[in-house]
């Protein structure tokens, strides 16, 4: 595979120039994308120079270049990991067969659906975050926001390339539709619920990049196993970029916690709100909301769709190579169903539980982030400990939807829910207070009252580096 060619109108390492028809189609889509970015991307910052990383190689080492660039000039492009000529399908009914280089006709609609659903999340998150630059707590954080935004834009390009290349006219139509849906629009919303939730303050953004981008990680891991090789290779490179998004969330929430603990240490017995910090209990309620909303993104616990995707070789399990049985025909999954007001343990065929198997990995990974935050508490000798809400808490999809559970996953009645919900989820008072703190802090090296400075800067730069040139 050739290296990334930045001399092309659309940077790529897929030899786009050799397919003039495809190249013309994507170059026709490009102005529509730029118009979407101008209207729905980060507002009022498109003329500013931002210290961004740009991919220069698809390898995991030394793959990025840092430098100042204006976001509309960012070199979005189409990048895949190199093809392994010997690669075979690693799971399902086609286990051991050569990986597909073209769309298998019998699975065309399922595959298109998977690609479109993944693609739709990318512009959605940009739309959700488009106003946050106006209230950034520092230039460091402003730059991180914009890095996340441009990379989500590039991930959209990655999926659009697949739609244009392999799905003909209806693929091109789906690519256009990706620029027409809008996050939160009641008449034309994004496909998945979490991507229609308002993200109006930075605590929400940091929780989003912690929990929702972590869902993205596991969805990409599952798609990176796909028997459709172009999708697998595309997702493997996207995972390289996705890691930074979760870093922004995990360390960002950690810095909010640290600043609150600093205030509590320096002003014992005082309300941290007096000093412009966010109470730990409020942070926990935001965690509860975004963690539970993002947990819904895996779909229903028992799913014939997920079974079909697995058996057809389109979407595997995260870390499929670690599994002993790649056919998943014999095994059973112990599953906690909720029927008749009671939790009961049932066993279901393994293939029907693929959503839940992926969610298991997600929950375990989330807990590592919670442990990270609790180590911050330990450093400040605080007895407070953060927790991950149970996967049954506040669910809107699956067998737990429409029922009430406490943070431990115990069933409760509506009266008990109403009595405690203000302690579990952000209240209007919480949201009003957090939004009141959202005042921009653009002075080089300065940080807002509610967040600590990072332990170190990016790309070996100082914490007080001018990551965005606003002058």
What are 283-336's pLDDT values in tens digits? 999 999 999 999 999 999 999 999 999 999 999 999 999 999 999 999 999 999
Query: Is it the case that residue 192 has pLDDT exceeding 80?
Result: yes
Quote the pLDDT of residue 322.
Answer: 94
Phi and psi at residue 309, in whole multiples of 5°? Answer: -60, -35
Rounded to whole angstroms, how far apart are CA atoms 259 and 254? 9
Return mean pLDDT, the chain.
Answer: 96
Contact indicator for 301, 356 with CB cutoff of 8 Å: yes
Burial class (CB in 10 A: 0-12, 13-18, 19+), 117: middle
Closest CA to 164 of 14, 352, 53: 14
What are 215-224's pLDDT values in tens digits? 999 999 999 9
Query: Is it the case that residue 241 has pLDDT exceeding 80?
Result: yes
CB atoms within 10 A of CB 176: 12
176-193: average pLDDT: 98
Rounded to whole angstroms, how far apart are CA atoms 367 and 388? 7
β-pairing verdict for 49-55 and 64-70: antiparallel
Rounded to whole angstroms, how far apart are CA atoms 157 and 16? 13
Quote the pLDDT of residue 42.
Answer: 95
CB atoms within 10 A of CB 452: 19
The DSSP element (H or E) to which 336 belongs, if any, is: strand 332-339
pTM (2 d.p.):
0.96
- Taken in order 289, 292, 296, 297, the sign of the CA dihedral is positive
Quote the pLDDT of residue 471.
Answer: 85
The DSSP element (H or E) to which 344 belongs, if any, is: strand 342-349
What are 118-138's pLDDT values in tens digits? 999 999 999 999 999 999 999
Give the CA dihedral 220, 225, 229, 234, nearest 10 degrees. 20
The DSSP element (H or E) to which 223 belongs, if any, is: helix 213-223
Contacts of 15 (CB under 8 A, 6+ apart): 1, 2
Phi and psi at residue 349, in whole multiples of 5°? Answer: -55, 140
Task: For 16-44, give one letter per residue: b (16+ CB within 10 A) or e.
Answer: beeeeebbebbeebeeebeebbeebbbee
Task: For 422-441, give one letter per residue: b (16+ CB within 10 A) or e.
Answer: eebbbeeebbebbeebbeeb
Query: Is it the case that residue 418 has pLDDT exceeding 60?
Result: yes
Query: Is it the case that residue 61 has pLDDT exceeding 80?
Result: no
Query: Is it the case that residue 182 has pLDDT exceeding 80?
Result: yes
Quote the pLDDT of residue 64.
Answer: 82
Query: Is it the case that residue 1 has pLDDT exceeding 50?
Result: no
Give the CA dihedral 234, 224, 206, 257, nearest 10 degrees. -140
Closest CA to 250 of 296, 208, 278, 292: 208
């Amino acid at each position: 595979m050739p290296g990334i060619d930045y001399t092309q109108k659309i940077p790529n390492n897929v030899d786009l120039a050799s397919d003039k028809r495809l190249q013309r189609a994507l170059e026709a889509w490009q102005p529509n994308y730029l118009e979407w970015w101008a209207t729905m991307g980060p507002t009022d910052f498109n003329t500013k120079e931002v210290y961004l990383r740009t991919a220069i190689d698809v390898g995991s080492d030394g793959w990025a270049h840092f430098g100042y660039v204006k976001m509309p000039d960012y070199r979005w492009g189409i990048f895949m990991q190199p093809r392994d000529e010997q690669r075979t399908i690693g799971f399902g009914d086609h286990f051991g067969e050569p990986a597909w280089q073209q769309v298998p006709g019998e699975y065309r609609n399922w595959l298109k659906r998977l690609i479109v659903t993944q693609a739709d999340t990318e512009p959605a998150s940009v739309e959700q975050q488009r106003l946050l630059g106006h209230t950034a707590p520092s230039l460091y954080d402003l730059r991180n926001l914009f890095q996340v935004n441009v990379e989500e834009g590039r991930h959209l390009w990655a999926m659009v390339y697949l739609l244009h290349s392999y799905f003909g006219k209806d693929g091109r139509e789906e690519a256009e539709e990706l620029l027409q849906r809008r996050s939160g629009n009641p008449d034309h919303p994004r496909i998945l619920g979490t991507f229609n939730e308002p993200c109006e303050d930075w605590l929400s953004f940091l929780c989003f990049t912690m929990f929702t981008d972590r869902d993205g990680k596991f969805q990409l891991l599952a798609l990176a196993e796909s028997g459709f090789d172009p999708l697998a290779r595309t997702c493997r490179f996207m995972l390289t970029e996705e890691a930074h998004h979760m870093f922004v969330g995990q360390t960002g929430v950690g810095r909010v916690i640290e600043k609150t603990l600093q205030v509590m240490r320096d002003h014992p017995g005082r309300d941290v709100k007096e000093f412009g910090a966010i109470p730990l209990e409020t942070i926990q309620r935001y965690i509860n909301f975004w963690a539970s909303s993002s947990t819904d993104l895996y779909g229903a616990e028992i799913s014939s769709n997920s079974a079909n995707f697995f058996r057809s070789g389109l979407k595997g399990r995260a870390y499929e190579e670690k599994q002993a049985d790649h056919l998943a025909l014999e095994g059973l999954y112990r599953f906690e169903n909720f029927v008749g007001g009671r939790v009961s343990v049932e066993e279901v065929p393994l293939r029907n539980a693929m959503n839940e198997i992926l969610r298991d990995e997600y929950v375990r990974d989330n807990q590592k982030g919670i442990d990270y935050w609790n180590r911050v508490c330990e450093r400040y000798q605080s007895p407070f400990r953060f927790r991950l809400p149970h996967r049954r808490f506040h669910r809107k999809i699956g067998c737990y939807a429409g029922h009430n559970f406490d943070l431990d996953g115990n069933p409760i009645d509506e009266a008990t829910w109403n009595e405690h919900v203000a302690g579990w989820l952000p209240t209007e008072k919480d949201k009003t207070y957090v939004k009141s703190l959202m005042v921009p802090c653009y002075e080089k090296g300065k940080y807002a009252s509610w967040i600590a400075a990072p332990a170190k800067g990016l790309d070996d730069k100082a914490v007080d580096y001018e990551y965005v040139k606003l002058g």
